[in-house]
Amino acid sequence: MGRAFQASSELFRRSKEVVPGGVNSPVRAWNAVGGEPLYIARADGSRVFDEDGRGYIDYVCAWGPLILGHAPRAVLDALAEAGPRGTGFGAPTKGELELAELVSARMKGIEQLRLVNSGTEATMSAMRLSRGYTGRTKVLKFDGCYHGHVDGLLAKAGSGVESLSLPDSAGVPESFTGETLISGFNDVDSARRLIAEHREDLAAVIVEPVCGNMGVIPPEPGFLEALRELTRRYGVVLIFDEVITGFRVAPGGAQERYGVTPDLTCLGKVLGGGLPVGAFGGRRDIMSCLAPVGPVYQAGTLSGNPVTVAAGLATLRALEEKGVYRELEEKGRKLEEGFKGVLSSGVEGAVNRVGSMLTLFFGPDRIAAPEDARGCDRDRFSRFFHGMLARGIYLPPSQFEAQFVSLAHGDDDIAATVAAFADWAAEDSSRR
C-alpha cells in the first residue's frame, strides 16, 4: 500500500497470523477491491483516522449504525452514565423496557419486541418464530437480499432465480437450504407463483424492503404491497428485514416510508447507536408464541445489555428532534445529485438512493434488480474506491454495499466528495 499506510500494513500482517484472513468480517478484507485494509484508530463526526494518522470523510459509518456520526455527544454522555452502573446484569432493566416502548411507538408493525445481539440473531429468531406460529417449514427469500449468516438463508438460486436453493457457503447442508425458496427481487409474478405453489408449507416470506446488500435497490411500486396481499391471503408471515433501513430511511423505517406493515420486523444497526444489537418484533399474537409464554424457545445472556440499550435510547431520542429526517434526506439528495452530475459528463453508471443510503454503480444506467447490479463494471469500481481513498474519501470496499450519510456530514464534506469524484473520473478517463 506504500509508505503512507505502513502502520495498517504491519497490523494486517500480524492479524493474519491470529485471525482468519486477518479480519473479523469478510468484507473488511477488501478482497472485492484489492489491496490491504486500513486499520482505523479513531473517529469523530464525519471522519475516520487510520493508524498512520490520515483522515478521511467516512461513508461507511460502521455499515449504517452511525446515523448521528462518529462519537456523538448524546451517545457518549449516555455511555458515561450507564457504564458505572454496571455493564450487564442478566436481569430485566428499565432501559430495555423504555427502548421496547419507544420502538413500538415508532413502528406500526411492532406490538411486542425482543432484543437480541445482532441482525443475524434477529432474522434467525424471526424465522423460527414464524415456523412455530404457522406449523409450516419453508421460507421464501429474494435474490440479492442478505439476512445475515443464518444457515437456512445463506442460499443461492439453483437452476434459475425462481427455484429451490443451494447452499451459498461451505458448511451449510443442502437439507437446510432445501427449506428455502428464492424469488426475484421486484418480480411480483415470480413471488406470486412460488407463494401459491408452496402455500401449504410456506411459513414466512422475508425481504429487505430496500435491497441493501447488492447496493441500494429500492422496491418497485406495488412490489411490497403485493407481498403483503399474497402473504395475508395464504396465512404466511411477512417479515421485513429492516436491520439496515430501520430508523435510517424514516422514523418508522421502510414500512413507514412505503406504507406497508409486515407481521414481523427485524432490526439492528441504528437501534444500538453503534454498539452490537439486534431485535425482532411484530404482532402480539405471533410474539406470544415465544418462551416463556409460548412454545418457541429463544434466549440470550447479553440480550438487552444496559450499555447498548443506553446508546440506542440516546440515538433514537436524538432522532426525534424536529427536521432531522428532512436534513438526512437533503444530504442524501445533494450527494446523489453531485454524483449524477459527474456521470452526466460522460461516465457510465447510475446512482440509487433511498433517504441517506445510496450506491454509485458503474456501467448500466439503470439498476432495478440484483441481476442488473451483477452486470456492473467492478474493475472500475475498484479503481474508483482506491482513487477516492487517495483523495481522502473512505467508501465501502465493494460495489455491492450501501454508502451512508450521517447528520455529521456537512455541505463541505459532500462538496469535497463530489469534487474528488470529478477529479478521479477525469484522471481515470484519460488513462483509458
Given a contact cutoff of 8 angstroms between Cβ atoms, the answer to whether 1 and 35 are in contact is yes
Q: Which of the following is catalytic: 56, 59, 133, 146?
A: 146
Residues contacting 101, CB < 8 A, separation 6+: none
Among the listed residues 363, 303, 343, the one whose alpha carbon sits nearest the alpha carbon of residue 424: 343
Q: Which of 133, 269, 372, 394 is catalytic?
A: 269
Nearest to 394 by CA among 70, 72, 20: 70
Give the three-state DSSP class for 129: helix
Query: Is residue 108 flagged as an active site residue?
Result: no
Q: Per the structure block, which three cell numbers stand in for 91?
A: 436481569
- Residue 166: in which H helix or E strand, if any? strand 163-167
94 tagged catalytic? no
Q: Which of 58, 241, 263, 413 is catalytic?
A: 241
Q: CB burial class (10 A; 0-12, 13-18, 19+) of residue 59? A: buried
SS3 content of the chain, % helix, strand, coil (to 5): 40, 20, 40
**Residues 394 and 60 sit within 8 Å (Cβ to Cβ):** yes
The count of C-alpha atoms lying within 13 angstroms of the C-alpha of 315, restricted to the half-sphere facing its C-beta, is 32
- How far apart, in Å, do the first and last CA atoms of the chain sit? 23
Catalytic residue annotation: 146, 241, 269
